[in-house]
Structure 1
Amino acid sequence: MRKFYSQLFQILDSKQKRQARFSVFLILIGGIIDVIGLSIVLPVLAVANDPDLINSNSFIFGVKTALGLSDSGFLQLFFLSLVLVFVVRAWVYVAIKVSLSRFSYGISANKSVELLVNFFNSELLENKGKQTSDIVRDIVINTQHFSSFVIMPFLLVVSEFVIITILLTALLFYDPLLVGLVFLVVFPTASVFYFLSKRKVTNIGNSRNIVHSKVTDIVLRGVAGLVEMKLFREENSLLSYLEKEQRKLVDLNVKKAVLVDLFPKLMEVTAVLGIVAVFFYATFIDTSNNLLILLGVFGAASYRIIPSINKIVANLLFLREYSFLFDIISKADGQKRVNHSVAAKDTISFNKAIQFHEVEFYFDKSSDFKTVLPELEIKKGSVFGVVGESGSGKTTLINLLLGFYYPKSGKVAIDGKELSIDNRRSWWDQIGFVRQDVFIINESLKKNVCFGIKDSDIDMEKLRSSCEQAQLNSLIERFPNGLDESLGENGNKLSGGQKQRVAIARSLYKNSEILVFDEATSGLDSKTEAEIFATLMQLNDQGLTIVLITHNPANIKYCDHVLELADGKIKVIDTKENG
């Protein structure tokens, strides 16, 4: 338990730690009210067993006399007070539950945002090889699980432990031997069960997390590859794979359910043994005690203690099962969001050329494949083509140019100024990017073109001009809602060429100085491709620098300079002048 406490407080920020301490305080208040409620049961049982106590007990008689009540009237008030106390107890319980839940799920929401901030702040290479399904699962699902199966169980364990401690302490004043009996009957069973189950539950949790990731990946694969699944008759194969993983989940869930449900049944048997023990205690050991009172006290204590023990063990098992979440949530380390209203630490101006000086890049030092660019220049206002087979290093070159990768040696410079982490935000502000699978959000055409701009800040005149330059006017006229027409998920209302034009318009609205065109027309028919290039050439005539990445040699006719890559090395640099 101390380990969980330490791990949890390492994850929480200072505000959340204060909230956690306040939550523990509320738990303590709830525990005291719980005990007060149960403590009233004792005199009620005593009076119910012996009504003469109303007059023989000096305290009870004094209260009755002060209120001026008859015996029957006092007894009615007594029982009414008991009901009232339990009503207040229930109301306080609900209020505390709301407060604890708000605290717990507030952390879930906070950590979900922090994990996405962490993802945005990470370098491109850090996420290379990561599964999309794992990233989505951690941000969306595991943060919720952290609240439901780590924070809430931890608070419930603390809550029930406080209640049991206060209750047993109060019972000590009534009958220490009875408390010892309760302790000996209940706690050994709970301790042994938890000790035998904790490792099994931890393994179930780790295994279930792995299977959940596979299931999510299977579903995403089926949704994203619907056309291919149908054309290649792969639906049944994928369904079989899903059924296989779901069967694993069923087996893991059954094992967990049996463990969780088994313990309350064991505690029921333990409670019966406790009643038998009380009977023998009152009959053969301490005959001076009233059996009915002792059974009533044991029953009242068991009524509260045994459910508490059940909750403690069940929630400790939850903590064990989901202990792997600490490693995931710890990545939400409170990184700050990028404040775009604050100027970048350093700026870059693009007026002359982009230069690569003795650049060398590799993913793994021991790898034979390295991208080597000794000297390379992309002049402002030119159309610079990069051609090569798949895997030749074209994408690496673009990521170096964009500042997503940093050279292992040499440098990338803009107008002689080295591109770095301090000035790349300024550089990104000048770059438009169009790729084959254009990023389209499930929003209006207007929001897709003015991506990242608040509605209140959109310049409608500039938007219309950008759409006109990208030759989107005919599309806008066909849309019933014009610029406000939703483009659907992944732009499913658009053709491939229309998606490219939306991306071009987006770059123009951004006032991009350079447009990177990364294999963007490879999926288009020749007519649409020619129309897109005609638009690009018009934009180039207006001064826009274009970097064209292609594996199609036919497209080099549009370029002023052409760089051919092979195995990460420059094979040839050609220009229109030298043919």
Structure 2
Amino acid sequence: MLNKTKLLLKNNLIIGTLIKIKDVLPNDYRKKSVRMMLLLFLNSLLEMVGLAAFLPLFSVILQPGMIHSHRLLSPIYNTIGFTSDNQFILALAGIIVFSITVKNTASLLIVRTQAKFSLTLYQYFAKRLHQFYYSKGFPFFKKINSNIILRNINTIPSQFANQMVLPMFNLLTELMILLLILTGLLLYDAKAIFLLALTILPIFLIFYNWVKGRSLRLENEANSIAPKLTQSIFQSVHGFADVEITNTQKRFSKRISDYIGQLVQLNIKRTVYNAAPTKVIETGMVITILAITIYGLYFLPDRAGLTALLGIFALAAYRILPSVNRIMLALISIKGYQFTFDVINEVKGFTPKQTISEKILFEQAIHINNLSFHFPDSSNNVLNHINLTINKGESIGFIGTSGSGKTTLMNLLLGFWQPTEGNITIDGTQLIPSTLQSWRVRIGYVQQEVYIIDASVAENVAFGLTNEEIDTDKLQRVLQQASLWEFVQSLPEKTNTNIGERGTKLSGGQRQRVGISRALYAGADVLFFDEATSALDTQTEEEITESIRSLADGNLTLIIIAHRKSTLKYCTRIVKIEKGNIQGEMKYNDLL
């Protein structure tokens, strides 16, 4: 029986969703949620007090002599020294108007606090999901569609905060208000009917004209930030390899979190603006009732109990109708956005690993020891018992047919995969997760398609850094080493020239030189070239090969994969790999 009751509660939309929200919230947010519930209850009491405040006003208006016979009102009347009943009634009405204004101001502050709580959840879960996906590493980014990752990092947390948590707060608030109002009405007169016959269109128009400009500026500002946020997420996801190699994941994570922080503040304002119309209309209704009261006191001699009753329930009705409307909207939103839990639950219990980085030196050689590897979804080895030594300062090339395993071997050397058997050591230190960060400080990676962001030459070379952080002397030096300096000097804004998304304003060879410059700027001791010239024409390939030759001066270690034999002409030795096995070593002349 108990289990069935629990199941029924979980299946209930409101209770089940509350349980789900509680389960995904981190501990500090769970504590904050208790405070939010207390604020919800306080807000409901304020709403009820606001309605009840009119009872004494209508009583003294419609019951002549009550002011002088009432045990509380009579002493107040005599102590303050009112000279007429009308004077007392006007003072009481003024106090009520002031109290309602204070109540509505407090209510807006509560709404702001609730919005801040919900929307900072957006920032928290977006950052957590970004960290979570990066913790999954290279295999995850190779397997999952990038658009799904982008949606999950940005859109889903926003929908969870705006369409799930906020509506739940609104729903609970309106349910409490509705319950208190209905209870009060039941106690006052069970046979009463509801009536609503007032409109405050002029007040609404004044408020709309006041808020529309502010709302427009808010949306424009949010609209200008959104592309920057999307761009930063896009760059960090699509540039995964470069982010990992340059150890700039924390920089991107912070940048994304900062942009989201700005959007959170704007969303808090938007929420307050959305909540304000109801409060303005309510205040307008109070002013309207005051005007009717003044008119009745001076121009309508009859006062009837029925009129008081209708007035009371008119006040109740004007609050009940919006509550019902908001409850319906909240239920539709909560029901429609249940799918957000599927993504949010991915980071339930996830804590970013605080990996202790072990230092790795490279003064002698890289040793590949009896290395075998197969992909997680396969039992067939891609590499079989590879043994190889790469000495510091040498240029080594790898050749082989497509699918032979040479790129997989490079990805193992880059740390994107871990060997199934055997290991890789650098000066005797094994390449494992705890030594990866130190190793990546020493390496650079030039892919077949260099990842170019929609930014300046300088920002592309000093990947992950802002303009203020870039060392201009170092920038010039690496551009000269990559034979790109003269070209950059011909650009309209030199190193500050925007080169377009994915380098659309550059040639293939120039994009490769940007990749080489990036690797050198990061201070690499080892440069990896993965088919860096395969998509280039013969002349450009020759130019890039000459640039590679100029780097092979004994200080840099070059590891080159190529299909074109000419790319390997300056390698000290060339290793042939076929079907996951080393077939032999040779010199460039042996290939001719």
Shorter-chain TM band: 0.7 to 0.9
2:74 paired with 1:65: no
Partner of 2:33: 20
CA distance in 2, matches of 1:522, 1:578: 21
For residues 14 and 317 of structure 1, do their structure 2 counterparts lie closer, same or farther at Cα, with a shift above 3 Å needed? same
**2:221 alignment partner in structure 1:** none
Q: Does 1:555 align with 2:571?
A: no
C-alpha separation in 2, matches of 1:375 and 1:497? 34
Q: Cα deviation per residue 1:124-146 (whole Å; 9 max; x = unaligned)?
A: 11333211111111112112111
**Aligned match of 2:24:** 11
Q: Percent identity between the aligned chains?
A: 32
Partner in structure 2 of residue 96 of structure 1:
110
Match among 550, 553, 556 for residue 541 of structure 1? 553
**Residue 486 to residue 124, structure 1, CA distance change in 2 (3 Å):** same
Are the aligned partners of 1:117 and 1:335 in contact in 2 as well (CA < 8 Å)? no
SS at match of 1:357: strand
Give the superposition deviation at 1:565: 3.3
Query: What's the counterpart of residue 248 of structure 1?
Result: none
Partner of 1:190: none
Q: For residue 549 of structure 1, report the CA deviation from its aligned partner.
A: 1.5
Task: Tell me if the contact between 2:41 and 2:173 (Cα under 8 Å) persists in the aligned partners.
Answer: yes
Match in the other structure for 1:481:
493
In structure 2, what is the equivalent of residue 356 of structure 1? 368
Is the aligned partner of 1:308 residue 2:323? yes
Deviates more, 1:76-85 or 1:57-66: 57-66
Corresponding residue SS for 1:411: strand
Q: Which residue, out of 380, 385, 392, partners 1:380?
A: 392
1:44 paired with 2:27, answer no
Using a 3 Å threshold, how does the CA distance of structure 1 residues 472 and 542 change in structure 2: closer, same or farther?
farther
Work out the CA distance in 1 between the residues paired with 2:130 and 2:577. 36
- 1:400 corresponds in structure 2 to 412
Alpha-carbon distance in structure 1 between the residues aligned to 2:348 and 2:143: 22
Tell me which residue corresponds to 1:322: 337
Distance 1:563 1:86 in 2: 83
Q: 2:174 aligns with which of 145, 157, 160?
A: 160
Distance in 2 separating the partners of 1:151 and 1:178? 37
Instruction: Tell which deviates more after alignment, 353-362 or 466-475.
Output: 353-362
TM-score, normalised relative to structure 1: 0.74
- Note closer, same or farther for the CA distance 1:365–1:438 as it changes in structure 2 (3 Å cut): closer
Counterpart in the other structure of 1:87: 101
Task: Report the Cα distance in structure 1 between the residues aligned to 2:378 and 2:548, rounded to whole angstroms.
Answer: 41
Q: Confirm whether residue 459 of structure 1 aligns to residue 477 of structure 2.
A: no
Among 138, 143, 146, the alignment partner of 2:160 is 146
Give me the whole-angstrom Cα distance separating, in 2, the residues matched to 1:529 and 1:448: 22
Instruction: Provide, for residues 34-87 of structure 1, a one-character-per-residue CA deviation record: whole Å limited to 9, x for no partner.
Output: 111100233334444444544454433443333322111122223323322322
- Aligned counterpart for 1:574 among listed residues 558, 561, 586: 586
Query: Counterpart in 1 of 2:134?
Result: 120
**Which of 47, 60, 64 is residue 34 of structure 1 equivalent to?**
47
**1:346 and 2:358 correspond:** yes
Deviates further, 34-43 or 439-448 = 439-448
Structure 1, residues 225-284: CA drift from partner, whole Å, max 9, x if none? Answer: xxxxxxxxxxxxxxxxxxxxxxxxxxxxxxxxxxxxxxxxxxxxxxxxxxxxxxxxxxxx
Deviation at 1:373, TM superposition (A): 4.0
Deviation at 1:447, TM superposition (A): 2.4
Structure 1 position 506 matched with structure 2 position 521 = no
Equivalent-residue separation in structure 2 for 1:148 and 1:445 (angstroms):
39
8 Å CA contact retained: 2:458, 2:467: no
Which amino acid in the other structure matches residue 151 of structure 1? V
Give distance in 2, aligned partners of 1:159 and 1:91: 16
Which moved further from structure 2: 565-574 or 419-428?
565-574
Note if contact 1:114-1:334 (Cα within 8 Å) is conserved in structure 2.
Answer: no
Let me know the Cα RMSD of the aligned residues. 3.0
2:215 match:
none
1:298 & 1:542 partners in 2: Cα distance?
A: 91
Q: How far off is 1:30 after superposition?
A: 1.8
Contact 1:356 1:373 in 2 (8 A): no
Most deviating of 540-549 and 157-166: 157-166
Alpha-carbon distance in 2 for matches of 1:137, 1:72: 63
Distance 1:365 1:28 in 2: 53
Partner of 1:438: 450
Counterpart in the other structure of 1:420: 432
Shifted more, 430-439 versus 23-32: the winner is 23-32
Cα 1:559–1:55 change in 2 (3 A) is: same
Moved more, 378-387 or 522-531: 378-387
Aligned equivalents of 2:371, 2:532: Cα separation in 1 = 26
**CA–CA distance in 1 between the matches of 2:568 and 2:478?**
26
SS in 2 for 1:143: helix
1:92, distance to aligned residue in structure 2 (A): 1.8
| Cα distance between partner residues in 2 of 1:461 and 1:366 | 48
Distance 2:452 2:148 in 1: 22
Q: Is the 8 A contact 1:564 1:570 kept in 2?
A: yes
Give structure 1 stretches of 5+ with no counterpart.
183-215, 225-288
Cα deviation code 1:478-499 (max 9, x no counterpart): 0232222232322222221111
1:528 shift after superposition: 1.1
- 1:393 and 1:51 map into 2 onto residues whose CA distance is 99
> Which residue type is aligned with residue 364 of structure 2?
K
Deviations 1:493-546 (A, max 9, x none): 222111111111121122211111111212211111111110111111243111
SS at match of 1:541: coil
Where does residue 245 of structure 1 map in the other structure? none
Assess if the C-alpha contact under 8 Å between 1:156 and 1:312 holds in 2.
yes
Tell me how many residue pairs correspond in the alignment: 471
Instruction: Please state how far the C-alpha of 1:577 moved relative to its aligned partner.
Output: 8.3
Alignment of 1:221-240 (within 5 A): none
Aligned residue type for 1:142:
I
Amino acid at match of 2:43: G
The residue number in structure 2 matching 1:229 is none
**Which of residues 136, 141, 157 in structure 1 aligns to 2:150?**
136
Secondary structure of 2:72's match?
helix
